[in-house]
Amino acid sequence: MLEICGKRVEAGKALQCELGPEGYPMPVTLICGAKPGKTLVVTAQIHSGEYAGTPAVIRLAEETDPGCLSGNLILFHLVNVTGFYEGLNAYIPEDHGNLNGCYPGGENSVSGRIAAFFVREVFPHADALLDLHGGGMNEKLAPCLFFPGVDEKVRAASLEIASYADIPDCIISRSVSGEVGYAGNVMGIPSLLLERGYGGLNRKEWSDAYYRDLCLILRGLGMTDGMPEPVCEKNVYDRAVYLSAGENGLWFPAVELGQRLKPGDLLGHTEDFWGRKLREYRAEAAGKVQYFRFAMNAVKGHNLVTYVLDAE
């Protein structure tokens, strides 16, 4: 039996319901397998404009046969509900909170209460956690994933889960403020933050690829049967550089996804509204462009380019 937040699901059964802190219901599917096994938690759209994960989670909920499942699935189809309906890029509109940066949360804000709900009510059930993202509305992104790197055992277990997915670039995260960062680096839960898609688009090929990733991971965790499938080789990166704007202005990127960088290579520049160059941004080390802002507006403190560094 699976029991969470007062909801009970018998072995071999599934339940569609809503869970969340008081006043903030989120659509959820709970599936209790007929056989014992691991409990996998999956979340989609903690950033409300990153759509690719939600159709994949809905499809997984529809097509998973509880009678053939070993273990449990706790599937959050959509976390940032209010941001989704307001058409926002990332934040919780009630308080402008970022669910990838406010853990472990608290009771003084909506975003804090959502984060605290996951820490208190959901994460204790999890043997593994997957958080599905999709790039931002104003950026281009190459498929990648982040995994916790503080504890060696959690790091190894997370990287093993990553090996089942068909995503090439795996980046270590030492953050403790995001969902995966807190679950993995603080609570010791093997976790992945996966990224597919970009630009506020909902393309079927991205959701289909996410669905395949989920199925491959379930198979790898021993939760479903099936023959192994070939996946891409993995590139593991120890660090990502997040280049933020130092001023407001117009942004003109000079990079493309996957571009190889040498120290000093031009990443882009900013201008004022009279066409005067404000600043050039250049790579600090050798690496590869993972995602970048394509929108023209540069906002001080907001990300412009993210690139992963080659191993030394």
CATH code of residue 296: 2.40.50.100
pTM here? 0.96
- For residue 112, what is the domain's CATH number? 3.40.630.10
Where a domain ends, among 235, 269, 290?
Answer: 235
Do 222 and 100 lie in one domain? The reply is: yes
The residue with greater pLDDT, 120 or 310, is: 120
Q: How far is CA 103 from CA 28, 53, 183, in A?
A: 21, 21, 9
Q: What pLDDT score was predicted for residue 311? A: 61
Do 80 and 210 lie in one domain? The reply is: yes
Alpha carbons 198 and 89: distance in angstroms, whole number: 11
Q: Are 213 and 165 in contact (CB under 8 A)?
A: yes
Within 8 A by CB and 6+ apart from 249, the residues are: 270, 271, 272, 273, 278, 298
Where a domain ends, among 201, 235, 269?
Answer: 235
Do 69 and 209 lie in one domain? The reply is: yes
Do 259 and 222 lie in one domain? The reply is: no
Do 229 and 254 lie in one domain? The reply is: no
Do 206 and 305 lie in one domain? The reply is: no
Do 13 and 137 lie in one domain? The reply is: yes
Token look-up 């403190």 returns: 301
Q: What is the pLDDT of residues 22-40, one digit of tens each?
A: 999 999 999 999 999 999 9
Do 43 and 178 lie in one domain? The reply is: yes
CA angle 230, 208, 35 (to 5 degrees): 70
Q: Are 125 and 4 in contact (CB under 8 A)?
A: yes
Number of domains in the chain: 2
Where a domain ends, among 184, 214, 235?
Answer: 235
Per cent of the chain over pLDDT 90 is 97
Do 6 and 121 lie in one domain? The reply is: yes
The enclosing H or E element of 101 equals none
CA-wise closest residue to 111 among 39, 47, 189, 19: 47
Which whole number is the average pLDDT over 154-172? 97
The enclosing H or E element of 182 equals helix 179-185
Do 272 and 194 lie in one domain? The reply is: no
Q: What is the extent of the structural domain holding 249?
A: 239-309
Indicate the burial class of 30 (C-beta count within 10 angstroms; 0-12, 13-18, 19 or more): buried
Q: What pLDDT score was predicted for residue 227? A: 83
Do 83 and 209 lie in one domain? The reply is: yes
* Model confidence band, residue 310 (pLDDT cutoffs 50, 70, 90): confident
